Structure 1
Amino acid sequence: MEDGLYNYRCMTRHRYTGETRQSNSARLIVSDPTNSAPHILDSFERREVMASHRVELPCKASGHPAPKYRWLKDNRPLEPDTRFRQSVTGLLIERAQPSDTGTYVCEVWNGYGNAEVVGRLLVKEPLKVLVSPQKVKGSVGSQVSLSCGVTGSEEYQLSWYRNGELIYPSNSVRMTGQNRENLVMAGMAKSDGGAYQCFARHGKMSAQDLVQVILEGQKVQYFDIDK
C-alpha cells in the first residue's frame, strides 16, 4: 500500500494575514483487511405490502472476504423470476403477488463462517368478504348457520349484523372460529329474518357482504353498513 510510505501533515493558512501553521507529522498505516466471518448489518422479521407494489427484504452483512448471498423461500431455493433482484441492501421484489407470501431466508457466507436472516413477507390484497350460503329460507324454530370467508389479510376484525344491528352471542346465538367467522342461530323467531351482514376490517381496509334470511313469507329488507 503506497499510501502508507509517506508522512502526512495538516497545514492551515489565515485568510487575512496569510500566516501559515503546520501540524506535527503523522504516518498513515494501511493494513490488509482482517479475515472475518459474516456479520449481519441489516435484516427484517416481517414485511407487508399491497399486491402489485414493490418491496425490499433487507439483508446486508459485513465480512472478509466479501460474503456471498443466497435466498430461499419456504425452505426452497428462490425460483428464478424477473421480478426478483438481489441488490447491495437486500432482495427487491417488483409487482409483488399474493403467491410471494411466505418465509424468506437470506443465507450469507464466506470462508470463515456464515449467518442468516429469516423474515416473513405478507402480500396483501384488498379485503374481500363472502357470506355463504347466499340465500337462506327457513321456518320458525329452525337453526340457521352462516359462514363468512375473508381474503386479503391474515389478520382482521369481524362483526355480524342483522338488519343493521350488531349481533351479540347469546343462549341462542353462537359465533365460532378463530375470528368468529361462523354464525349459528338456533330456534329462529320470525323477527330473526332479514338481512345478515358480515363486516371485516383490517387497518384502513374494510369490506362486507350480505345475505337474506327469509322465514315464512317475511318481506325482504335491505340495509347498508358503514362502520
Structure 2
Amino acid sequence: MGNRVRTERSNLVISDVRPSDDGRYVCQASNVLGVRRSRPAKLVVLVRPFFVLRPSPGRGLAGGSLLLPCRVGGSPRPRVHWRRTDGPLPVGRLHYTEDNSMRIDGLRSSDAGQYSCEAENEAGRVSAAVTVEVQVAPSVDMPRRAAVTLGSQVALKCQVRGQPAPRAVWWKEAQFDPLLADQERGRITTSVQNDLYISPVTSADLGWWVCAAASAAGSFSGRVLLHTGRVKVPPGSASGRSGPTDDLVHLEEVRLLDGTSVRLSWKTSDRRPVDGFYICYIRRPAADGEATSAAPAVQKVTVLNGGADSYVLTGLRPGAAYEFFLVPFGGGREGRLSRLRRAQLPEAGEQSVGMGKFLGERSQGKFAGLCSRC
C-alpha cells in the first residue's frame, strides 16, 4: 500500500482507498508479556458504478433486431435497468443479455428515439443516453401503365417512401439518362414530389419508364408503360408496386483515397451475371449553404465489364459531399439500384471532375434474367 497507509493513535488510516484494499484487517499489539490480536475487521470498498462498455447510438432496419450494449462495473455489483426517455419501451420485443445489453426485436418506426442505460449501487449512480434510429427500406408506388395521345402532356406519378428519405431517380428503360426530382431536360421535367411530366409526348417517349429509389436502407424500383392504347401488357409483365428482391449488386464500400478521389467496391450476385455497371454519383449541396449554379444532377461513369468489382473515381471536388450508387445493366435493360452510400471529401486544392478506371476483374459474365420487374 506504500505511503497510503499510516497509523494515528493506534488507528489504521488508508488514504486514496482502492478496490484492492478490500479485505480483512487485524490489529496486533505486543509487549514483553506477549502478543494480542484483535478480531478481524472486514473492510468493504464501495466502487461507484462505471461503464466498461458505454452504450453507443444504434441504427437498425425495420423488421430486424438491434443490440444496445451496456456493460458496467462497480462494487457491490450495480443494479442495471433500461428506460426510454421519450416514450414507453417496446414491451414484448425486448431481451436482456447477461452483460445487461438490451436487444430490440421486430424493429418498428415507433422504436426510434432516446434510450438510457442506468446503473446504481450503494456508492452512487451512473447513466448514459443513446439515440436509436430505425431505417425503413424504400418503397415505390406507381401505376402499371399510362395511355397517352401523341402531342399531349402526361404526368407519371411515383410515390416514394422510406427512412431515411430515399433518393428517387427516373429514366427511360434501355436509355439510362437519369433525372432526379425537381429537374428539367427539354420536354421532360420532374417535380419535388418525384412525379415525371412529358410535354408534348412523342413516339420516342413510348415504352417503359422506371422510377427507382435508393437509400442506405436499400433500394426499390417500379415501372410504368407509356403507350397510346394500342399496346397490350401481358399479365405479370409489369408491376407498379414492385416487391423487393435480392440485391443484384451490393455497394460495399466507398473509401477515400485523397481529397479528390474515392474507390468504390461492390459485389454482384453470382446467379445473375451482368454486362456492366453505371457508377452514379451526386454532389450534395454544402451544409454551409454554398451557392451552386444548378440543382444536383446525376453524373455517371459506364463500366463495360461485368466482372469488375471496384472502380477509382477521380477528380471530385475537395470538401464536397457525394452520394454514390450503382446500376447494373445487360440484355437491353437496367437492373435494380444498389444501396446509396455517402462520403465527405476532405478539404484540398480545387480540381475539376474527371473520370477514373476500374480495378479488380472477375470472369466475364453474360446477362441472364436481370430483375424482370425493375
Q: CA deviation at 1:78?
A: 0.8
SS at match of 2:204: helix
Query: Which stretch has the larger CA shift, 33-42 or 96-105?
Result: 33-42
- Contact 2:68–2:101 (8 Å) recurs in 1: yes
Give 2:58's match in structure 1, choosing from 10, 25, 46: 46
Instruction: State the match for 2:195 in structure 1.
Output: 182
Instruction: State the match for 2:83 in structure 1.
Output: 71
Q: CA deviation at 1:147?
A: 1.3
What amino acid is aligned across from residue 88 of structure 2 in structure 1?
P
Instruction: State the match for 2:187 in structure 1.
Output: 172
Report the Cα distance in structure 1 between the residues aligned to 2:75 and 2:152, rounded to whole angstroms: 76
Report the Cα distance in structure 1 between the residues aligned to 2:113 and 2:217, rounded to whole angstroms: 25
Report the Cα distance in structure 2 between the residues aligned to 1:207 and 1:226, rounded to whole angstroms: 11
- Contact 2:155–2:195 (8 Å) recurs in 1: no
5+ residue gaps, structure 2, are 1-21, 27-41, 239-331, 337-374
- Contact 1:39–1:61 (8 Å) recurs in 2: yes
Report the Cα distance in structure 2 between the residues aligned to 1:216 and 1:167, rounded to whole angstroms: 26
Give TM-score scaled by structure 1 length: 0.65
SS at match of 1:188: coil
Give 1:208's match in structure 2, choosing from 221, 246, 249: 221
Distance 1:89 1:206, change over 3 A: same
- Contact 2:135–2:164 (8 Å) recurs in 1: no
Give 1:160's match in structure 2, choosing from 163, 167, 170: 170
Instruction: State the match for 1:199 in structure 2.
Output: 212
- Contact 1:101–1:123 (8 Å) recurs in 2: no
Is 1:147 the counterpart of 2:158? The answer is yes
Report the Cα distance in structure 2 between the residues aligned to 1:113 and 1:121, rounded to whole angstroms: 27
RCO greater where, 1 or 2, for CA within 8 Å and sep 6 or more?
A: 1
Instruction: State the match for 1:22 in structure 2.
Output: none
Report the Cα distance in structure 1 between the residues aligned to 2:191 and 2:43, rounded to whole angstroms: 67
Q: CA deviation at 1:104?
A: 3.8
Report the Cα distance in structure 2 between the residues aligned to 1:100 and 1:85, rounded to whole angstroms: 18
- Contact 1:100–1:121 (8 Å) recurs in 2: no
Give 1:136's match in structure 2, choosing from 146, 152, 171: 146
**Residues paired across the two proteins, number:** 195
Report the Cα distance in structure 2 between the residues aligned to 1:79 and 1:205, rounded to whole angstroms: 25
Report the Cα distance in structure 2 between the residues aligned to 1:173 and 1:31, rounded to whole angstroms: 82
| Identity across the alignment (%) | 13
The root-mean-square deviation of aligned C-alpha atoms, in Å, is 3.8
Q: CA deviation at 1:56?
A: 1.0
Give 2:134's match in structure 1, choosing from 102, 105, 122: 122
Distance 1:164 1:4, change over 3 A: farther
Distance 1:213 1:128, change over 3 A: same
- Contact 1:156–1:202 (8 Å) recurs in 2: yes
SS at match of 1:115: strand
Q: Deviations over 1:116-151 (max 9, x none)?
A: 3222142555x5433x23321222231323214245
Distance 1:49 1:143, change over 3 A: closer
Give TM-score scaled by structure 2 length: 0.42
- Contact 1:135–1:213 (8 Å) recurs in 2: yes
Q: CA deviation at 1:155?
A: 5.0
- Contact 2:59–2:133 (8 Å) recurs in 1: yes
